[in-house]
Structures are given as C-alpha cells and as structure tokens.
Amino acid sequence: MKVYVFPGQGAQFAGMGADLYQQSPPARELFEQANTILGFRITDLMFEGTDEDLRQTKVTQPAIFLHSVILARTLGADFQPAMVAGHSLGEFSALVSVGALSFEDGLRLVYKRALAMQQAGEERPGTMAAILGLSDETVETICAGIDDIVVPANYNCTGQIVISGTLSGIDAACEQLLAAGAKRALKLNVGGAFHSPLMEPARAKLAEAIHATSFQTPVCPVYQNVSTQGETKPETIQAHLISQLTAPVKWTQSVQNMIAAGASDFMELGPGNVLQGLIKKINAEVTTQGMS
C-alpha cells in the first residue's frame, strides 16, 4: 500500500520550493495565493531568505506546509494514497492533501498555530533535546522524576526521543539521561518547549480557530500523532489536532500501526528526507522515497 508522509518543523532549507514555483504554473498560482492570504511574500523568504529567516516559527511552519501541500497538488491524479500521516506540523499538510481541510483554511490555521507557538515560547521560555540510545521507558521514567516540567515530546524512532520542557528541567534531564547511558543528549535550536504543557496558551488559541473551521471527511485514513490510529471522522480529527500542541508526537507508534494495516511503500512529500530515515529505522523492510 502506498502511504504519503509529510515532514514537520526542522525540515526547512534556504531556497525550498523555488524550483516548483519556476517550473509549475499551478504551483506558482498556489504560492501567490498563499502570499495574498498571509499578507506578506513568504515566497521571498523561502526562495531567497537566510537560514535565520526560515528558522522563525512563524515562517518555518507555513513554508513547510506550502512546500508539502503544493508538491501533493502537482502530482494530480497520481496522488492516490491508501493512508497518510504527518509529523507534528505535517499533520496539517496531510489533512489538506486528502481533502479534510481546504488549502486556504489549512494555511490560515498553520499560520495561527505558528504565531501562537512562537508567542507561547516567548512568554514561557523552554527548549527541547534529542535523546539517543535509551529505551522509551527509561526516558519516560527519568523525565517523570525531574522536579520541573520535562516530558517526552517526539517518539521519532526506536532509540530516539525528543524531550521538551523548561530550560532548567531540560538541563537536569540531559544530565541524568547521559548518566543512565544515553549516547547523546543534544539540545535543539528551537523557539520553545513544543508538545509540552508550556504550550497550553497556544493550544487554547488554536482550539478556538479549529472549532471555527470547517473539516470534511478525508479520502483516506489520516494516522494522527495523538491517537496513532487512522482517523476519518472530522470531529475526532479536530480534537486530536488541538491536543497535539501539548501532547507527544507518537511517530514510531503511528508508523508501526500503518505497517500493521498494510503500508509498504512510503513517499515523503516536502523539504528534506528526515521522515524517510526515521521510517527505515522503525522498519527496514519497507520502501521509502521522497519528493522535494
């Protein structure tokens, strides 16, 4: 079964989407529509901006969303997924690509989400760290024992978890996780403690916007980060999208469930190839390819 997966924040690169814009008139039309909706020329930042420009959450998220969704649109009739999934932000790209959200509504929600997350990160400073070489259970136990906010945020693949929390909490957790045998505890250059309780103000703002947006039944199941199951009911999809901001991204579990449901061929749509690498680490027997 053919599955399409959509990357999240961190996959961006300078010049992303420029070839699409130049070579495909339908893609160019969608990019220009996005500039109008957002009220600024995000294409200028995507095509000509610096890495620092693209690292701003309010730019990163809509940029990756646009790159992914427009790639799916350019496939036309060849885009026939049996199921889809997205990593964090990528879930919005997946939902638009399979008709659960319109392009316009999806972009507006992503931009509101990005602004809310950036503001929450400024108001309640925090960070994230990638932990390599420990079991999920060990990471969960050590985080739970820290006298501060620290939680598992991304279950990326076996032996790779990203934790999220306060600055002091992450420092304490990294020290204890290294002592417990972690191969690496690498702090990430992010704008906040995403997928942790520190994102609660952003979750509340996003909830209001999502409840005011029309969702439709997707053409195939969407394996969501929160439930790890293939969802098709609009109200369930909405609820999980809201919960996602303060809940962990269960990518490992989602991929395992898709494979159990028959997924064998994964295509990553969007900048980079991070998801292909994670999927291969989760199950080396499936095929992966990308389109960026």
124-152 confidence digits (pLDDT tens): 999 999 999 999 999 999 999 999 999 99
Ranges of each domain in the chain? 2-122+197-291, 127-187
Considering only CA atoms, which of 106, 80, 103, 70 is closest in space to residue 91? 106
- Rounded mean pLDDT, 165-171: 98
88 is catalytic: yes
pLDDT at 292: 86
- Rounded mean pLDDT, 30-34: 98
| Contact indicator for 248, 155 with CB cutoff of 8 Å | yes
In this prediction the pTM is 0.97
In CATH terms, 127-187 corresponds, of 1.20.1050.10, 3.50.50.60, 3.30.70.250, 1.20.140.10, to 3.30.70.250
Residue 116, both tokens: 């809310």
CATH architecture of 2-122+197-291: 3-Layer(aba) Sandwich (3.40)
Q: What are the counts of helices (DSSP H) followed by strands (DSSP E) for the chain?
A: 13, 10
- Rounded mean pLDDT, 149-169: 97
- Rounded mean pLDDT, 204-231: 97
- Rounded mean pLDDT, 77-88: 97
- Rounded mean pLDDT, 35-56: 94
pLDDT band at 167 (very low <50, low <70, confident <90, very high): very high
Task: Return the percentage of the chain with pLDDT > 90, whole number.
Answer: 96
**For the segment 174-196, what is each residue's pLDDT rounded down to a tens digit?**
999 999 999 999 999 888 999 99
Considering only CA atoms, which of 166, 153, 162 is closest in space to residue 125? 166
Catalytic entry in 67, 87, 195, 240: 195
- Rounded mean pLDDT, 24-48: 97
pLDDT at 189: 86
CA distance 140 to 138: 5
Catalytic entry in 67, 87, 88, 227: 88
- Rounded mean pLDDT, 233-237: 98
pLDDT at residue 20 is higher than 90: yes
67 is catalytic: no
37 HSE (CA, 13 A, CB side): 20
pLDDT at 275: 98
DSSP-assigned letters across all residues of 5-62? EE--TT---TTTTHHHHHH-HHHHHHHHHHHHHHTS-HHHHHHH--HHHHHSHHHHHH
pLDDT at 106: 98
pLDDT band at 277 (very low <50, low <70, confident <90, very high): very high
